[in-house]
C-alpha cells in the first residue's frame, strides 16, 4: 500500500534581513519520491523563490543537517522520514559559509572555533565542495583549552554502525613533578580494532595515555572504573589523551613544534604538574543532553486477554527493523 506522508518544509535565509523564515507543509509519495530535479522545482515553486539559487538540506534522525542535491540522497532523505521530513532551504552563499556539513545543527555553536581547520578555511576561502552524504565521525575539540601536548577527541558514534573499536589497559606514566620524576599509574589505549571507528579517525593510537573521559579526570580511577565511564559515555565519547606520538600535535598561535619533537615514549610530555582544571567551560552534561535519547513506544492500550495476546504477534512492541510507525506515534525524548 502506498502511504503518503507530509513534509514540513522550513525555509531559512540566514543573514538575509529581507526574508523571514517561511514554513510549508506538503506530502510526497514515500515509495516513489521521484527525481531530485522535480523536487527542487517543487520546493522552489512552493516558496516562490524560483529566482534565487538555493541549497536544500534535511535533518536526519540524529538531527544532523545533510544535503539534498542528487537523486540518491533525495531518496534516502525521503525514506528516512520518520514520518515528517524536515527540509531546510538556504541561499547558496549562506550555505557555503560552512553551515552544512560542519556538524549537526545542534553542535554548530561548538563547531565554530573548535574545529582546527575552521580558521584557515575561512581566511583562504578555499573552494571545497559541499559534503555529499556524510557526517562527522570524530573531531579534535577544545584546542584552545587543553595543553598542546594533549588532545581532546570526540568520537561521534551514533548513526554509525562501526564499533568504537579500541581497548584500554593499565600502565605506568612518568610525570615531572616538583620532586622529580615520578611514576604514576595511568590508563593507556592498548589496541585498536582494524576497521573500527577509533582507528579510522586516526586521532587515537596505541599507547596514548587517557587523561580524561567526558571531562572527568581518570587519575586515581581503576581500569574498570574508566571502562565503565567510557561505556556509559559511549554515545558521545570525549577522551582527552596524551598521544604517544607527540609529532602530530595541534600547532597553535603559529608556534611550531617542529619535527624534532619530544620522544614518542611519552616520558616527557610536558613539564610541571598537569593543569588542574582545563575544563572550565566544557560541560559534558550539556554536550550530551540532547543525544541521550531514550525511546518510548506508546502501546495501543486496548484491553486484550492473554489468550488473544498469545495469538496476536503484534502484542510485542519490540522495534521492528523497519521502524515504529506501524504501531502508532513514536516519540523521542
> In terms of C-beta density within 10 A (0-12 exposed, 13-18 middle, 19 or more buried), how is residue 43 classed?
buried
| Residue 304 contacts other proteins per CB under 8 A | yes
Smallest gap from residue 234 Cβ to other proteins (A): 4
- Pair type for strands 151-156 and 166-177: unpaired
* From 18, 20, 180, 302, residue interacting with other proteins (rule: CB under 8 A): 302
Interaction residues for other proteins, span 196-255 (CB under 8 A): 213-214, 216, 218, 220-235, 237
Helix 36-47 × helix 71-79 angle, to 10°: 70
* φ, ψ dihedrals at 176, nearest 5°: -95, 120
Which CB atom, from 144 or from 228, has the smaller least distance to other proteins? Answer: 228
Rounded Cα distance between 266 and 184, Å, is 13
Assigned C-alpha cell, 316: 510485542
**∠ CA(88), CA(287), CA(254), 5° rounding?**
90
Rounded Cα distance between 54 and 110, Å, is 25
Which CB atom, from 83 or from 171, has the smaller least distance to other proteins? Answer: 171
Comparing CA positions, the residue from 197, 217, 223, 103 lying closest to residue 150 is: 217
Interaction residues for other proteins, span 280-299 (CB under 8 A): 283-286, 289, 292-299
Smallest gap from residue 212 Cβ to other proteins (A): 12
Number of Cβ within 10 Å of residue 127's Cβ equals 6
Rounded Cα distance between 150 and 246, Å, is 9
| Residue 13 contacts other proteins per CB under 8 A | no
Smallest gap from residue 77 Cβ to other proteins (A): 24
Which CB atom, from 52 or from 82, has the smaller least distance to other proteins? Answer: 82
Pick the piece of the chain touching other proteins (CB under 8 A) from 1-9, 65-73, 139-147, 187-195: 187-195
Q: What are the residues whose beta carbons fall under 8 Å from the beta carbon of 327, sequence distance 6 or more?
A: 297, 298, 299, 300, 314, 317
* From 24, 62, 135, 169, residue interacting with other proteins (rule: CB under 8 A): 169
Smallest gap from residue 242 Cβ to other proteins (A): 17
| Residue 170 contacts other proteins per CB under 8 A | yes
Smallest gap from residue 222 Cβ to other proteins (A): 7
Which CB atom, from 84 or from 232, has the smaller least distance to other proteins? Answer: 232
Smallest gap from residue 120 Cβ to other proteins (A): 32
Q: How many residues bind other proteins (CB under 8 A)?
A: 62
| Residue 256 contacts other proteins per CB under 8 A | no
Which CB atom, from 38 or from 298, has the smaller least distance to other proteins? Answer: 298
Rounded Cα distance between 142 and 134, Å, is 23
Interaction residues for other proteins, span 107-166 (CB under 8 A): 157, 163-166
Rounded Cα distance between 314 and 327, Å, is 9
- On whether the CB atoms of residues 332 and 305 are closer than 8 A, the answer is no
**Would you tell me which residues interact with other proteins (CB under 8 A)?**
157, 163-170, 190-191, 193-194, 213-214, 216, 218, 220-235, 237, 283-286, 289, 292-306, 309-310, 315-317, 319, 331, 333
Amino acid at each position: 500500500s502506498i502511504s503518503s506522508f507530509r513534509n514540513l518544509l522550513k525555509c531559512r535565509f540566514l543573514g538575509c534581513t529581507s526574508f523571514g523564515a517561511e514554513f510549508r507543509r506538503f506530502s510526497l509519495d514515500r515509495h516513489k519520491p521521484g527525481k531530485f530535479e522535480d523536487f527542487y522545482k517543487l520546493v522552489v515553486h512552493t516558496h516562490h523563490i524560483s529566482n534565487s539559487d538555493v541549497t536544500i538540506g534535511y535533518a536526519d534522525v540524529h538531527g544532523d543537517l545533510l544535503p539534498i542535491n542528487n537523486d540518491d540522497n533525495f531518496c534516502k532523505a525521503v525514506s528516512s522520514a520518520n514520518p515528517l521530513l524536515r527540509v531546510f532551504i538556504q541561499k547558496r552563499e549562506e550555505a557555503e559559509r560552512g553551515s552544512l556539513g560542519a556538524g549537526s545543527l545542534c553542535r554548530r555553536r561548538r563547531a565554530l572555533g573548535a574545529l582546527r581547520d575552521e580558521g584557515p578555511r575561512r581566511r583562504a576561502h578555499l573552494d571545497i565542495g559541499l559534503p555529499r552524504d556524510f557526517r562527522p565521525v570524530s573531531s579534535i575539540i577544545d584546542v584552545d583549552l587543553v595543553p598542546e601536548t594533549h588532545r581532546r577527541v570526540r568520537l561521534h558514534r551514533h548513526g554509525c554502525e562501526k564499533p568504537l573499536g579500541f581497548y584500554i589497559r593499565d600502565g605506568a606514566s612518568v610525570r615531572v613533578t616538583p620532586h622529580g620524576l615520578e611514576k604514576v599509574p595511568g590508563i593507556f589505549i592498548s589496541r585498536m580494532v582494524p576497521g573500527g571507528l577509533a582507528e579510522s579517525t586516526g586521532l587515537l593510537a596505541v599507547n596514548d595515555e587517557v587523561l580524561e573521559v567526558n571531562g572527568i579526570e581518570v587519575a586515581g580511577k581503576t581500569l574498570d572504573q574508566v571502562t565503565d565511564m567510557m561505556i556509559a559515555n559511549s554515545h558521545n565519547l570525549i577522551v582527552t589523551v596524551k598521544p604517544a606520538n607527540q609529532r602530530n600535535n595541534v600547532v597553535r598561535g603559529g608556534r611550531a613544534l617542529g619535527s624534532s619533537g619530544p620522544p614518542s615514549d611519552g616520558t616527557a610530555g610536558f613539564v610541571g604538574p598537569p593543569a588542574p582544571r582545563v575544563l572550565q567551560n566544557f560541560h559534558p552534561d550539556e554536550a550530551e543532553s540532547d543525544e541521550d535519547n531514550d525511546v518510548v513506544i506508546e502501546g495501543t492500550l486496548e484491553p486484550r486477554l492473554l489468550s488473544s495476546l498469545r495469538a496476536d504477534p503484534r502484542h510485542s512492541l519490540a522495534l521492528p527493523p523497519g521502524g515504529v510507525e506501524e504501531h502508532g506515534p513514536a516519540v523521542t525524548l
